[in-house]
C-alpha cells in the first residue's frame, strides 16, 4: 500500500519540515513533510489558499467530509475537550491566574486613563492661567512702552 492508513485528526501536533513550494497569486503555498507516528510513513500536506484549506500531496489520503463541515458541529470533539478541560486542574489554575492578571491589567489601564483625564483638566486650567497672565503682562509692557515714549518726548522738549 502507498502511504499510511491511520487516521490523523486535524489539530494533532507533528514535527514537520516546512517548505515553500509555490505561490497562489501573492499567497505562498507551503508543504509540510512529516512522519506518521504509527507506521513511520512520510506524509506531505500542502496548503490550499484557493479553497482556504489544505490537501494531502503524498503519503496518505484526505478523509472525505461534507463541504459545510465545521469543527463546532463535531459534538464528540467538543465533549472530549470539555471533559479534558475539567480534568485538567493545572489548566484551570492557569486560566484563573490569566483571567486575574488580565483583570488587574485592565484595572491599571482604567486607573491610568482616569489619571490622564485629571492631568488633562489640570493642564487646561494651567494653560488658561498662563494665557491670562501673559495677556496682563503684555498690556503692562505696552503701557510701559507708551510711558517711556512720553518720557523721552518730554526729555527732548526740556
Dihedral (C-alpha) 143, 145, 147, 150: value to the nearest 10 degrees?
-140
Q: What pLDDT digit, counting tens, does each position of 69-108 carry?
A: 665 555 555 445 555 555 566 667 777 777 777 778 778 8
Residue with cell 518726548: 153
User: 33 has which bridge partners?
Assistant: 17, 44
Write out the three cell numbers for 121. Answer: 483638566
pLDDT digits (tens, 9 = 90+) for 18-51: 999 989 888 889 998 888 777 778 888 898 888 7
Other Cβ atoms within 10 Å of 33 Cβ, number: 16
Whether the CB-CB separation of 70 and 78 falls below 8 Å is answered with no
Q: What is the pTM of this model?
A: 0.38
Amino acid at each position: 500500500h502507498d502511504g499510511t492508513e491511520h487516521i490523523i485528526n486535524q489539530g494533532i501536533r507533528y514535527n514537520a519540515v516546512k517548505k515553500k513550494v509555490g505561490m497562489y497569486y501573492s499567497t505562498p503555498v507551503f508543504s509540510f513533510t512529516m512522519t506518521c507516528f504509527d507506521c513511520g510513513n512520510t506524509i506531505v500536506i500542502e496548503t490550499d489558499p484557493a479553497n482556504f484549506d489544505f490537501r494531502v500531496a503524498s503519503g496518505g489520503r484526505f478523509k472525505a467530509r461534507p463541504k459545510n463541515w465545521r469543527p463546532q458541529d463535531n459534538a464528540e470533539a467538543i465533549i472530549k475537550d470539555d471533559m479534558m478541560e475539567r480534568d485538567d486542574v493545572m489548566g484551570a489554575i492557569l486560566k484563573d491566574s490569566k483571567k486575574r492578571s488580565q483583570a488587574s491589567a485592565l484595572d491599571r489601564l482604567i486607573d491610568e486613563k482616569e489619571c490622564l483625564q485629571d492631568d488633562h483638566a489640570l493642564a487646561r486650567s494651567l494653560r488658561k492661567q498662563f494665557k491670562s497672565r501673559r495677556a496682563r503682562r503684555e498690556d503692562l509692557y505696552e503701557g510701559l512702552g507708551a510711558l517711556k515714549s512720553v518720557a523721552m518726548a518730554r526729555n527732548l522738549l526740556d
